[in-house]
Structure 1
Amino acid sequence: MSTSTGDKPPEDTTSNGGGVFSSRVSQRKASVQGNKATTAKIMDIELASNSDEPEVDERDFHSKQVFKGWTLALLAYQSLGVIYGDIGTSPLYVYSSTFTSEPSHEDILGAVSFVIWALTIMVTIKYVGIVLCADDEGEGGTFALYSLLSRYAKLVRHDPQHNGVLTPAQSILGAIQGITVVNPNISSSTVVGVSCAILVVVFLIQPFGTSKIANSFAPIVIIWMIFNLVFGIYNLVMYDSSILKAFSPYFAGSFLMRNGKDGWLQLGGILLAFTGVETLFADLGAFSQRAIQMSWLFFVYPCLLLSYIGQGAYISRIPSAYANPFYLTVPPGMLYPSLVIAILACIVASQAVITGSFQLLSQVMKLSYFPQVKVYHTSKTVHGQVYIPLANWLMMIGSTTSLGEAYGACVILVSFLTTCMVTVVALIVWRLPIYLVLPVFLVFALWDGMFLSAALSKVPHGAWFTLMLAVILTCMFMLWRYGKEEQWTAEESDCMPLSQTTALRDNKLVLQKGSTTSPITPISGLGIFFDKSGSSASTPTVFLHFVQKFSASPEVSVFLHLRPLSVPTVPPHERYSITRCSTYGEGPGKRAIPNCYRLIVRHGYTDEIITPDLGVLVLDLIRGFLETHGTSKVPDSDTEELDALHRAWRSQVIYIVGKEQLKIAAKTNIVRQLFLWVFLWMRDSSRTKIQHLNVETDRVVEVGFVKEI
């Protein structure tokens, strides 16, 4: 244990708490006491009614953001630069992935019909119309659905305190292959090499943040979509306008009936028309529901429809064009511009999955299924825009080594799971009648199942890679969750209120264990204990172990709990909450523990709380609390507490942090030992080191304690 002489006190103070503070204190005071309410909506709970039950504060919860006007229009514009690159570049390879030989007129008509209805049913109706409404406080994706369901159905215990790695490689490779139309002598290894180089660049620019990347990429997608729209209209007019008959679902059904098993297998190529649809939902937190609905319905959807219809019109007259359906169908003189824009658009295509993966991983961490890794919030306006370095670099490695056949199976499997989960949400959360939900579920389940069965035929040809990766990630998530629940169980033994661990005897704090008590010797100084739980229903673990080990406590103790919220910043008047700590003493009822306070700091992701000035901030807050919320019944006690506070400050300020070590119990069976050992290794590797605590290190006291799991 190491201590120091601590912070030097304010230059001078009087007995009533007045005096001249240093410039640092004055600066803090301007933000903390400029308005008495700024001291935090400071709460001084009446001791007679104080309870050991956990408090619920509405300030700890946030509602989803609702955007309107120009902000909504900007988000709709930005969404074009992130979430539609993938589904928007599918015209490069859908028909070539569907057919292996020149199709007949009836077959291309049936394929176009399938594409039209896939975009309509899977994307427009299912995702844009229904799934986007199943958000968890504005967050989307599979894990947001799981969080929503687990909260309403109480599926899992909460902390008391893979979506398509292959997309970038697949899309960019499809765009670069257009070079072979210009120069057939270019080797496939050159195409793959250029694709990988572009892919690496995409991952390298991620630290710039979603907004900047989206603003830069959106014009590319807009131009690309306009190209698809114009080319589609051109081909429709110039070659075969009768292809518009494909809007009738009869031709899709006829396609399957006529081709039998081969037609069923060809659905594996058709489903590539809506790859990337899950990113519309996964990126919901980065853009908002209305922004995504606007950009899809009024721009992307009609552009893609006409693109596929136009390609179908061209192929119906020149069947050999199926092999490279985009570049061989461009109007005369537009090949080179199309090639450039296609490559740029496919760079954007990778952005959809990358951004969506950041969203999903941040949700997984909130649900305690993954270790806490560094997350950077990249926007003060849209709270869901994040960047996760670890995920970025791992995806870069994974994307450059992935297999193309895997992607379709991954997409449709996630889509099927989403259908099932949204159905449960409709019943449990939205409380819709089952007779209304069941028919809708059957329609989408049959549609998903049809494509899923076709996609599973790809498993021996590469889709096994994604399925294997999904199994590995799932096992890791479950292992971490299992370890966390064991940790929570072990920590419950320390989860006791102050009234059960301490008592007052002759107005002095004593340690209480059952019917026996032991004295606690006060030591000079202001002690700031970092409280993990922040609940008034429990004694801070670090404080309990400190007094148990040393039978002593600082003259003034502050239990500091940092409560992060998913907002950029918390206004000063809502940021701090202070209460007196209380325990039982002689006589009935609870009594305040002298010079012991609980300080809760609510902060956003741009608020910097742990700074070298932390001790000054705590001093100023407690001083303001005593001046504003003193005990009116005994005025002299307020003066005594202020005197004690300043005296402790002059002596030293120490920061006491807990270091919990988990140990596997001796009688644990071998399989459980292995699981827990892996969990502990992951936990130790991802823990924040004490050196990263941004306070003077010579004022830090680390209290270690061991828990068996």
Structure 2
Amino acid sequence: MSSSEVEVVGVESNENREQKNEQVSNHSSVLSGNNISRQKLRRHDSLDMESRTFPGSTHASKDPTTSVVMHLAFQSIGIVYGDIGTSPLYVYASTFTNGINNNDDILGVLSLIFYTITLITLVKYVFIVLQANDNGEGGTFALYSKICRYTKVGLLPNQQIEDAEVSNYQMDFPKSSNVKMASRLKSKLENSKFAKLFLLLTTMLGTSMVIGDGVLTPCISVLSAVGGIKEAYSSITEGQIVGISIAILICLFMIQRFGTDKVGYSFAPIVCVWFAFIGGIGVYNIIKYDPKVVKAINPKYIIDYFKRNKKDAWISLGGVVLAITGTEALFADVGHFTVRSIQLSMCCVTYPSLILAYTGQASFLRKHNDLVSDTFYKSIPGSLYWPMFVVAVATSIVASQAMISATFSIVKQSISLGCFPRVKVIHTSTKYEGQVYVPEINYILMIACIAVTAGFKTTIKIGNAYGIAVVFVMTLTSSFLVLIMILIWKTNIFLVISYVLIIGSIELLYLSSVLYKFDQGGYLPLAFAVVLMTIMYIWNNVYRRKYKYELKNKISPENFKEIANGANLIRMPGLALFYSELVQGIPPIFKHYVSNVPALHSNLVFLSIKSLPISKVPLEDRFLFRTVEHEELNVFRCVARYGYNDLRDNEHDPFENLLVKRLKAYIAEELYLKSHNKPEETISNDGWGNENDGVEKAIQKQVEAIEKASRSGIVHLIGESEVIAGKGAGLWKRILIDCAYTCMKNNLRQSDKVFDIPHERLVKVGMTYEL
């Protein structure tokens, strides 16, 4: 179909389109035996049109019912709050590392904890940040993806206008007083290469820090819980506690391969019992020891605390901030639940239980200043010690499990956006798509956790490292949120300034405090981040260079016809899927293949598996097809679009079957549209009846040809391009491409293993790119 024809169809009226849909439905009987899924007749899938205007999304999600929200709220307690829920195990011990000098210092720290949880966890995350989700997904990559959707700041030149159709966004800005500021900022970001690279690197930094949390959370949670055994057995040594903790960690990582689905329903009851225990014990301690401790709600005690302790008070903030560890999980895990369900569970269960727990511990410490190093277990009534110990260990395992699972999900997102080397991602649940297992990452995390636990031995040192990871991610989230407020929400500038002054100032204060302990363990998450960012940047940089090389050297339609019609080229039965990174055009490796193997299947599909910066792509929008210009060659281009939480393949509807089904539907639509876009004088005198009969026969013939080709065999052709630095390349470029990237590529999985392609139907085509 020519460009002009596409344009005509693209602007046709809704009434005409509905008439055509009805006519297609009337003719579906001919194709019913082939089980073709009839899509709406939309011509929004042209892969070679660079600029088009499309209507808004038709995929806006519906609000869940109240019963569903309540159910999800209960489940979220087990998945989301394990980390922040176990913080009372070690916060006071990490804050008063040198003991309590003044009894009123306890009130100052309690006031700090109260306002930190209220402002950062409740106000910032629960009521503001959760609203910045990307089509229901949260986390650093989700914020970056949301910004990329509204502004052209992505570094990979594979964006298509059609992709906007599968998201819930409206690109037109409303007429308001804040549009000018948003427009100016948008223009500056889009025209600045530095800003684009900075945003990507910042996203990588935030992601690396969260992965660092995946290492530190199991260490500090399990070590804190197991340390409580000293209350029952005072003779136990530090080395034995570390050994028990390591054994639990090894078991925890060994069971990851089974997934969290089988034990997922046990998480919520365990954490609910934990919150009931710490909340109830908190009330008991408040009544028994010092009910007046509730006066810490007055922020005056914070001021007095800083006046008395000055620098020591500022340093102690590194311990206070541990009260909000795991808060980022509220946002990162929103995709598994809903915003309302997390808000409900936080406000009704988690927040009051934590406040009561910290208040009860403060009340206990007012009478027992000397027991601050073991506050949690010392404040438990004797009869509840063993039940509390068992629940504490179980909850620490749940907290660790949540962060490990979140790390797997983050790595999966990074891979799908071209920011992480290829590793095997295994979906462990047919019910929950977000539950994945990454073997390589699992064993790396296990080794790192064992090394950290054995090396640091105490929760105080691990807490120093943990604090930096937590506050860094929070600060980066706030930075992205400010951009979203200005660019997307068009928030009043005074509200933006208020957010920066209040929330931003608090986070920067905490960040300065945790950085002070850099040499006391704080260097660990930064070291993790540097290593991970280096890996991510090298992979992403060369990935983009390869893509641009293929885009620059792609085969034109004229050259393709010349190659395909070559005298020595043999056409054989079957359907070939030729994998390519390109979403526009034919890759240069195809010419290399034909020149060495002068045989081509009767039907050929150039397939690009593309990851969109959104969570999920609806099934009906998964494939975009386009007939390559010379129709007699039976060659098509296809873009298979996936969100970062979509399954690439599943047992119920294999990828090959789905692609063939959609290809047949596309061919039927294409022939029907062409026949009904003919000028009136070309229509038969017999009327539309004979014309439609002819169309149906043509459709039937083409569909049967595709079915015959697929029955003859589907072959997967994968281009395994090697990359080397081009002639005259500088030293940095040679190190980047020839050493770092090549080393990673050679030691990681190949494309066929990542895509689960059957080896008996796989052909690899090698070619060297000089970048």
Q: TM-score range by the shorter chain?
A: 0.7 to 0.9
Question: Which of 723, 728, 733 is 1:672 aligned to?
Answer: 733
Which letter does structure 1 place at the counterpart of 2:310? G
Residues 42, 576 of structure 1: 8 Å contact kept: no
Aligned: 1:659 with 2:720: yes
Q: CA deviation at 1:491?
A: 1.1
Distance change >3 Å, CA 700–CA 58, structure 1 → 2: farther
Distance change >3 Å, CA 412–CA 605, structure 1 → 2: same
Question: Which of 235, 255, 265 is 1:205 aligned to?
Answer: 255
Structure 1 window deviating more from structure 2 (108-117 vs 485-494): it is 485-494
Distance change >3 Å, CA 552–CA 125, structure 1 → 2: same
Which letter does structure 2 place at the counterpart of 1:595? N
Match of 2:560 in 1: 502
Match of 2:578 in 1: 530
Question: Which of 546, 554, 563 is 1:511 aligned to?
Answer: 563
Aligned: 1:582 with 2:624: no
Match of 1:17 in 2: none
Q: CA deviation at 1:464?
A: 1.2
SS of the residue aligned with 1:495?
coil
Match of 1:425 in 2: 484
> How many residue pairs get matched?
658
Residues 92, 175 of structure 1: 8 Å contact kept: yes
Distance change >3 Å, CA 331–CA 628, structure 1 → 2: same
Match of 2:69 in 1: 72
Structure 1 residues 539-590: Cα deviation after superposition (integer angstroms, max 9, x where no partner): 255544444445653344444555678889976x76666654323xxxxxxx
Tell me the distance in 2 between the aligned counterparts of 1:438 and 1:252. Answer: 24
Residues 219, 449 of structure 2: 8 Å contact kept: yes
Tell me the distance in 2 between the aligned counterparts of 1:410 and 1:166. Answer: 9
Residues 569, 606 of structure 1: 8 Å contact kept: no
Aligned: 1:264 with 2:314: yes
Tell me the distance in 2 between the aligned counterparts of 1:33 and 1:248. Answer: 74
Match of 1:704 in 2: 766
More strand by share: 1
Residues 78, 211 of structure 1: 8 Å contact kept: no
Question: Which of 448, 453, 456 is 2:515 aligned to?
Answer: 456
Match of 2:405 in 1: 355
Which letter does structure 1 place at the counterpart of 2:572? S
Structure 1 residues 597-648: Cα deviation after superposition (integer angstroms, max 9, x where no partner): 4566678527448999959984996599569947768969879868977987
Residues 31, 38 of structure 1: 8 Å contact kept: no
Residues 595, 645 of structure 1: 8 Å contact kept: no
Tell me the distance in 2 between the aligned counterparts of 1:324 and 1:31. Answer: 75
Cα root mean square deviation, aligned: 3.9
Q: Which has the larger radius of gyration?
A: 1
Distance change >3 Å, CA 168–CA 695, structure 1 → 2: closer
Matches within 5 A, 1:17-56: 34=32, 38-39=36-37, 41=39, 53=50
Match of 1:688 in 2: 750
Distance change >3 Å, CA 293–CA 647, structure 1 → 2: closer
Q: CA deviation at 1:61?
A: 10
Matches within 5 A, 1:41-120: 41=39, 53=50, 67-99=64-96, 100-120=98-118
Tell me the distance in 2 between the aligned counterparts of 1:104 and 1:626. Answer: 81
Unaligned 5+ segments in structure 2 are 1-27, 160-208, 457-461, 676-681, 683-690
Match of 2:647 in 1: 605
Which letter does structure 1 place at the counterpart of 2:563? L
Q: CA deviation at 1:251?
A: 0.8
Calculate the TM-score normalised by the size of structure 1.
0.82
Q: CA deviation at 1:480?
A: 1.4
Tell me the distance in 1 between the aligned counterparts of 2:520 and 2:549. Answer: 46
Tell me the distance in 1 between the aligned counterparts of 2:39 and 2:91. Answer: 59
Which letter does structure 2 place at the counterpart of 1:521? L
Structure 1 residues 255-288: Cα deviation after superposition (integer angstroms, max 9, x where no partner): 1112111111121211111112122222222333
Match of 2:601 in 1: 554
Match of 2:501 in 1: 442
Tell me the distance in 2 between the aligned counterparts of 1:142 and 1:248. Answer: 34
Match of 2:545 in 1: 486
Aligned: 1:147 with 2:145: yes
Tell me the distance in 2 between the aligned counterparts of 1:106 and 1:457. Answer: 25
Structure 1 window deviating more from structure 2 (593-602 vs 105-114): it is 593-602
Structure 1 window deviating more from structure 2 (311-320 vs 616-625): it is 616-625
Tell me the distance in 1 between the aligned counterparts of 2:701 and 2:755. Answer: 32
Question: Which of 136, 139, 162 is 1:138 aligned to?
Answer: 136
Which letter does structure 2 place at the counterpart of 1:146? Y
Match of 2:279 in 1: 229
Aligned: 1:593 with 2:645: no
SS of the residue aligned with 1:553?
strand
Distance change >3 Å, CA 222–CA 665, structure 1 → 2: same
Q: CA deviation at 1:34?
A: 4.0
Structure 1 residues 50-102: Cα deviation after superposition (integer angstroms, max 9, x where no partner): 96548999999976785443433332222222221221111112112222224
Residues 568, 605 of structure 1: 8 Å contact kept: no
Q: CA deviation at 1:701?
A: 4.0
Tell me the distance in 2 between the aligned counterparts of 1:357 and 1:597. Answer: 38
Higher relative contact order (CA closer than 8 Å, sequence separation 6+): 1
SS of the residue aligned with 1:324?
helix
Q: CA deviation at 1:456?
A: 1.5
Structure 1 residues 235-260: Cα deviation after superposition (integer angstroms, max 9, x where no partner): 11111110010011111121111211
Q: CA deviation at 1:327?
A: 1.2
Q: CA deviation at 1:304?
A: 0.6
Tell me the distance in 2 between the aligned counterparts of 1:626 and 1:418. Answer: 47
Structure 1 residues 505-542: Cα deviation after superposition (integer angstroms, max 9, x where no partner): xxxxx339xxxx9656343323413242574x412555
Match of 1:214 in 2: 264
SS of the residue aligned with 1:424?
helix
Residues 283, 355 of structure 1: 8 Å contact kept: no
Matches within 5 A, 1:277-292: 277-292=327-342
Aligned: 1:345 with 2:395: yes
Tell me the distance in 2 between the aligned counterparts of 1:234 and 1:619. Answer: 64
Which letter does structure 2 place at the counterpart of 1:502? F
Question: Which of 321, 337, 346 is 1:296 aligned to?
Answer: 346
Q: CA deviation at 1:661?
A: 2.4
Distance change >3 Å, CA 123–CA 493, structure 1 → 2: same
Structure 1 residues 270-313: Cα deviation after superposition (integer angstroms, max 9, x where no partner): 11111121222222223332222111111010001011111111
SS of the residue aligned with 1:686?
coil
Match of 2:304 in 1: 254
Identity of aligned residues (%): 32
Residues 648, 655 of structure 2: 8 Å contact kept: no
Aligned: 1:521 with 2:569: yes
Which letter does structure 1 place at the counterpart of 2:600? S
Residues 612, 696 of structure 1: 8 Å contact kept: no
Structure 1 window deviating more from structure 2 (358-367 vs 477-486): it is 358-367
Calculate the TM-score normalised by the size of structure 2.
0.76
Matches within 5 A, 1:399-418: 399-402=449-452, 403=456, 404=462, 405-418=464-477
Tell me the distance in 2 between the aligned counterparts of 1:486 and 1:558. Answer: 24
Structure 1 window deviating more from structure 2 (302-311 vs 69-78): it is 69-78
Residues 578, 606 of structure 2: 8 Å contact kept: yes
SS of the residue aligned with 2:79?
coil
Match of 1:468 in 2: 527
Tell me the distance in 1 between the aligned counterparts of 2:52 and 2:287. Answer: 68
Which letter does structure 2 place at the counterpart of 1:664? A
Residues 530, 656 of structure 1: 8 Å contact kept: yes
Q: CA deviation at 1:121?
A: 1.0
Tell me the distance in 1 between the aligned counterparts of 2:340 and 2:286. Answer: 32
Structure 1 window deviating more from structure 2 (281-290 vs 685-694): it is 685-694
Q: CA deviation at 1:385?
A: 3.4
